[in-house]
Amino acid sequence: MSSAFAAPADAELVALVKRHAEAQATFDQAALKAITADNYAEVSPLGEVDSREKMLSFYAPELKRPAPQLQVDEPQVRVLGDSAVIYARLNFIMGSGDAARTFAMRAGYVAQFKDGKWLLVSAQYTGIRPPKN
């Protein structure tokens, strides 16, 4: 891929990460399957390495529970030929009003451009400590 392709790819890759995060939040197993490669693996916030099959089973429709509000921001994209690294901040709000609880994670993704589309091949999540008061 030429560097001229990188700018449109940046927007496409950020959209891919947002679709992935939203599919997780809504337990959209079909979307997760469509946007992850067969060899996808992820490192959970607890440090566990999960295969694509394990990740997909976690998002089975019968396991769906209320999802927090989600915002994906601070994206950084690095396109390296037919691969890309994407970092983003995932902000979550659970509950509402005085009972609302917020937390954030930094997520790192690797995507591969294959057969005319980008697919995620890995993700890693790291919790962000809340600021000290």
Give the pLDDT confidence of 17-27 residue by residue, as tens digits. Answer: 999 999 998 99
So what's the pLDDT on residue 8? 64
* Eight-class DSSP state of 38: E
Task: Rounding to the nearest 10 degrees, give the CA dihedral for residues 126, 31, 86, 9.
Answer: -170
pLDDT over 70 at 2, yes or no: no
- Segment 38-50 shows an average pLDDT of 93
Of the candidate ranges 3-7, 10-14, 57-61, the one whose mean pLDDT is the lowest: 3-7
List the one residue out of 23, 17, 19, 34 whose CA is nearest residue 123: 17
Q: How confident is the model at residue 100 (pLDDT cuts 50, 70, 90)?
A: confident
